[in-house]
Amino acid sequence: MERKRRAPVAAVTIMLSAAMALAATVTGCTSRDNTPKLRLEVVATRPHDPGAFTEGLEVDGSVLYESTGLSGHSYIQAIDLSTGAELARADLPAPLFGEGITRAGDLLWQLTYKDGIAIARDPATLTEIRRTRFDGEGWGLCTRDNRVLMSNGGATLTFRDPRTFAVTGAVTLTSHRNVRLNELDCAPDGSVYANTWPSDTILRIDPDTGDVLATIDASGLLPRSARTPDTDVLNGIASIPGTDRFLLTGKKWPTSYEVRFSPA
pLDDT of residue 144: 95
Cα 240-208-184 angle, rounded to 5 deg:
35
Cα 157-118-2 angle, rounded to 5 deg:
85
Q: For residues 156 and 149, give the distance between their C-alpha atoms in angstroms, rounded to a whole number.
A: 10
* 55 neighbors 91 (Cβ within 8 angstroms): no
pLDDT of residue 5: 52
pLDDT in tens, 139-175: 999 999 999 999 999 999 999 999 999 999 999 999 9
Mean pLDDT by 10 residues, the chain (264 residues): 45 35 42 86 97 98 98 97 96 97 98 98 98 98 96 98 98 97 97 97 98 97 95 97 97 98 94
Tell me the residue ranges of DSSP E strands in 11-127: 37-47, 54-60, 63-68, 75-80, 86-91, 98-104, 107-112, 117-121
pTM of the model: 0.88
pLDDT of residue 33: 79
Residue 150, class by beta-carbon neighbours within 10 Å (0-12 exposed, 13-18 middle, 19+ buried)? buried
User: How does DSSP classify residue 224?
Assistant: G
